[in-house]
Amino acid sequence: MSEEFMSRRNLNFVLYEMLDATKLTENEYYKEHSRETFEAIIDVAEQIAREKFFPHHMELDATEPVVENGRVKIIPEVKEALDAYAEAGFLSAHHSEELGGIQLPRIVTLACQVWFSAANIATLAYLGLTKAAANLIEVFGTEEQKEKYLGPMLEGRYYGTMVLTEPQAGSSLADVATTARPTDEGHYLIKGNKIFISCGEHELSENIIHLVLARLKDAPPGIRGLSLFIVPRYRVREDGSIGEPNDVALAGLIHKMGYRGTTSTMLNFGENDDCRGYLIGEPNKGLACMFHMMNEARINVGIGAVMQGYAGYLYSLDYARNRPQGRPLGNKDPKSKQVMLVEHPDIRRMLLMQKAYVEGTFALGFYSAWLLDQEKTSPDEEVRRECGLLLELLTPIIKAWSAELTLEANYQAIQILGGYGYTRDYPVEQYYRNNRLNPIHEGANGIQAMDLLGRKVSMHEGAAFNLLVREIEKTVAETLENEPLREWASQIEKALNTLKETTADLLKAKKDFGPERVLANASIYQEMFGHVVIAWLWLKQAQTAIKGLEYANEENATFYKGKLQACRYYFTWDLPKIEYQSRILRDLDPTCLEMQDAWF
C-alpha cells in the first residue's frame, strides 16, 4: 500500500519557485530566517507526519472515540502523535520570540501543516483548534489570561476549542442563547448547551480551554450582543495547578461520517450553575474576536480539504501505476499481458483532473498564507493593506471552492480503485468521507457565497475586487507574449472580463431590484469566481514551470511538463464552465427564487 500522501517536490515548487517564500526574510520580523531554517523545520514536520501521524490514520477512523465511565477513550497513538508535534515546537513556531516561538512565517508553518493534514487530519484537529484558540488569547487576552492559559497551550499541556454552535443556532449565530451572568468575584457564570464542539472532550491534555460565545444579561439581541469567554474544563489555581472541574458536562459524542477520530461533542455549560467563565475582549464584541481568526480558520478548512484531495490523488496514482487491468484499445489478444491502469486514457483523465484540482487549490492555499505574512510584516503599509484586502476577498474561495473541487478529486480517486475504492481496507473512501465535512463546517458554502457576493466584492467600493483584477491582469501581461502560455493568458483575460462584467451587472441589479434577486444565485457566482481564481493560479504555476524548464534536468523537466498539462486540463475542461454560469447570473435567473415551497 502506498505511503505517499504529500509531494515535497510540489511543495518546494509552490514555496520557492512560484511564491519565493525566502523573500519574506527581507521583512524585519522574519530576518533571522533563511531557506535553510525553513527546510530544517519542514524536514521535521515531514518526519513526524510519516512516523507518528500517518501510521494510525486508518485505525483511528475504524476505532472511533467512545465514552467509557464518563471518560472519552481514544486509541493511544493519537496522544503520542500530538505530543511529538508539541515537543517539536509546532504549537508555538509562528509566535513571537517573547512567547517562546521562532517567528516562523505562516507560509512555512503551512508547509509543515500540510504534512500532518494529509497524513491524518483527524488527529491533527486537536492541535489545529488549540492553535486557533491560543492565537485568540494572544490577541485579545489580558496579561493574566495569557500567563494562565496561553503558556500551557503553547507547550501542548492544555488544548483549546472554539464553542459557537447551539442546537437551534447553526448558521444563524444571531440566535445563540447561552448566557453569562456576572458575579462579584470577577468571573461570569455560564449557562447553555452547545453542539458540534470539535475536541470538546478527551483525556489527551491536562486541561481544555473552551472559548465560548455567550450573551450577557441585557445584551442587545442578535450578533451584536455576543461576548466571548474563556471557560476552562478544570479551573486553574493561582499557582497554575489544576483545580476543581468547572461544571462543563459532556452530554454526548456526535458520530460523524468523516474526521471520525476527532471528537465532536455536545457540551452542557453550567448544569449546576457553577460554570465559571472569564470575559475575553470587550463585552458584546465576542463575534468580532472570533472573526478576527476567521480568515485563518477558513483557510485551514480549505487546506484540510486540499490535503484530503492530495492524499487521495497520490494514493490512486500509485494504485493506477501498479494495478494491472485490461489491455489497450485495439489489443484483442486476451493472452497478452494486462497493462497498468494508468495506461488507459480514461484513468489518466481521472488522475489529471485530480492533479488539476488538488495542485490548483494547493497553490491558492499557499498564496493566501503568503498574503497573511505580507499583511502582517511587510515594511510597506500599502502592501499590508492590499494583502489584507485580497485575503478577505479570497477567503470564501479558499474555503468553499477548495472543498468542492477536492471532494470531486476524492470521488475520482475512489473511481480509479474500482470496487476496492469503496472498501474500508483502502484509504480513499475515508478521504472522501473526511472531505464531505469541509463544505459545511466553519461556515457552510452557501454562507460563504453570500459573503462573497453580498459583501466582499463590493466592500470599500470594490477595492478588493479591483485589486484581484489588477493582480490577474498583471499575470496576463507577463504571459501574453510567451508562446506556450499565450493561449491561456488570452483565455483568462476573456474570462476575467466576463467576471468583471457579470459582477458589475449583479451589483447594479442589487441596487435596482434589491439583494434577494441577486443573492439567490450567489452559489453559482462563487463557482464562477472560483474557476477564474484557480485558472489564474494555474497560469501562475505554468509561468513558473516555463521558467524552470529553461535550466531543468530531465527529472525536473518531467515535473514541469506535468504542470503545463494540468494547466491545460483546467483551461480546457473547467474554465469554459463560466460561460453558462455567467449567462444564468446576468439573466438574474429567477428559477430558484420563484420556486414555491408547496411546489416541491
Window 490-519: residues binding a copy of itself (CB under 8 A): 514-516, 519
Q: Does 379 bind a copy of itself (CB under 8 A)?
A: no
Minimum distance from residue 474 beta carbon to a copy of itself (Å): 27
Closest CA to 127 of 164, 88, 100: 88
Q: Does 312 bind a copy of itself (CB under 8 A)?
A: no
- Where residue 179 falls (left for φ over 0; alpha for ψ -120 to 50; beta otherwise) is beta
Stretch that binds a copy of itself, among 88-96, 141-149, 167-175, 228-236 (CB under 8 A): 167-175
How far is Cα 108 from Cα 214, in angstroms, rounded to an integer?
35
Considering only 9, 255, 460, 508, the residue that binds a copy of itself (CB under 8 A) is 255
Stretch that binds a copy of itself, among 133-141, 365-373, 377-385, 445-453 (CB under 8 A): 445-453
Q: Does 462 bind a copy of itself (CB under 8 A)?
A: no
Q: Does 222 bind a copy of itself (CB under 8 A)?
A: yes
Stretch that binds a copy of itself, among 50-58, 275-283, 368-376, 568-576 (CB under 8 A): 568-576
Q: Does 148 bind a copy of itself (CB under 8 A)?
A: no
Cβ(91)–Cβ(127) under 8 Å? yes
How far is Cα 385 from Cα 465, in angstroms, rounded to an integer?
14
Q: Does 12 bind a copy of itself (CB under 8 A)?
A: no
Q: Does 455 bind a copy of itself (CB under 8 A)?
A: no
Stretch that binds a copy of itself, among 19-27, 299-307, 322-330, 377-385 (CB under 8 A): 322-330
Q: Does 551 bind a copy of itself (CB under 8 A)?
A: no
How is residue 339 annotated by DSSP? P
Cβ(539)–Cβ(567) under 8 Å? yes
Q: Does 539 bind a copy of itself (CB under 8 A)?
A: no
Considering only 95, 256, 531, 540, the residue that binds a copy of itself (CB under 8 A) is 256
Considering only 437, 452, 496, 532, the residue that binds a copy of itself (CB under 8 A) is 437
Stretch that binds a copy of itself, among 205-213, 233-241, 470-478, 574-582 (CB under 8 A): 574-582
Cβ(153)–Cβ(206) under 8 Å? no
Binding to a copy of itself (CB under 8 A) within 335-374 occurs at 335, 338, 342-343, 345-352, 355
Cβ(561)–Cβ(355) under 8 Å? no
SS (H, E, C) 479-502: HCCCHHHHHHHHHHHHHHHHHHHH
Q: Does 170 bind a copy of itself (CB under 8 A)?
A: yes
Cβ(269)–Cβ(192) under 8 Å? yes
Considering only 99, 509, 584, 588, the residue that binds a copy of itself (CB under 8 A) is 584
Q: Does 298 bind a copy of itself (CB under 8 A)?
A: no
Q: Does 329 bind a copy of itself (CB under 8 A)?
A: yes
Q: Does 439 bind a copy of itself (CB under 8 A)?
A: yes
Grid cell in block for residue 505:
451587472
Considering only 65, 156, 232, 258, the residue that binds a copy of itself (CB under 8 A) is 258
Question: Length of the chain in residues, anyone?
Answer: 600
Minimum distance from residue 27 beta carbon to a copy of itself (Å): 36
Helix (H) or strand (E) holding 572: none
Give φ, ψ of 450 to 5 degrees. Answer: -65, -40
Number of Cβ within 10 Å of residue 294's Cβ equals: 16
How far is Cα 213 from Cα 224, in angstroms, rounded to an integer?
12
The span from the first CA to the last CA of the chain, in angstroms, equals 47
Stretch that binds a copy of itself, among 106-114, 140-148, 291-299, 584-592 (CB under 8 A): 584-592
Cβ(194)–Cβ(269) under 8 Å? yes
Q: Which of 77, 296, 404, 442 is catalytic?
A: 442
Q: Does 600 bind a copy of itself (CB under 8 A)?
A: yes
442 annotated active-site: yes
Strands (E), 92-187: 158-163, 179-182
Binding to a copy of itself (CB under 8 A) within 187-206 occurs at 195-196
Q: Does 257 bind a copy of itself (CB under 8 A)?
A: yes
Q: How far is CA 222 from the centre of its chain?
A: 27
Q: Does 450 bind a copy of itself (CB under 8 A)?
A: yes
How far is Cα 459 from Cα 446, in angstroms, rounded to an integer?
19
CB of 153 or CB of 437, closer to a copy of itself = 437
How far is Cα 201 from Cα 4, in angstroms, rounded to an integer?
32
Q: Does 94 bind a copy of itself (CB under 8 A)?
A: no
Minimum distance from residue 413 beta carbon to a copy of itself (Å): 12
Minimum distance from residue 399 beta carbon to a copy of itself (Å): 14
Stretch that binds a copy of itself, among 42-50, 108-116, 253-261, 487-495 (CB under 8 A): 253-261
Minimum distance from residue 386 beta carbon to a copy of itself (Å): 30
Q: Does 556 bind a copy of itself (CB under 8 A)?
A: no
Stretch that binds a copy of itself, among 17-25, 155-163, 333-341, 499-507 (CB under 8 A): 333-341
Q: 217: exposed, middle or buried (C-beta count within 10 Å: 0-12, 13-18, 19+)?
A: exposed
Minimum distance from residue 176 beta carbon to a copy of itself (Å): 10
Return the residue matching grid coordinates 494572544: 138
Minimum distance from residue 420 beta carbon to a copy of itself (Å): 8
How far is Cα 26 from Cα 19, in angstroms, rounded to an integer?
14
Considering only 31, 321, 474, 508, the residue that binds a copy of itself (CB under 8 A) is 321
Q: How many residues bind a copy of itself (CB under 8 A)?
A: 102
Cβ(446)–Cβ(414) under 8 Å? no
Q: 558: exposed, middle or buried (C-beta count within 10 Å: 0-12, 13-18, 19+)?
A: exposed
Considering only 202, 269, 569, 585, the residue that binds a copy of itself (CB under 8 A) is 569
β-bridge mates for residue 160, sequence order: 209
70-74's contacts with Cβ under 8 Å and 24+ in sequence apart are 70/250, 71/203, 72/201, 72/202, 72/203, 72/250, 72/253, 72/263, 73/203, 74/202, 74/203, 74/204, 74/261, 74/263
Catalytic sites, residue numbers: 442
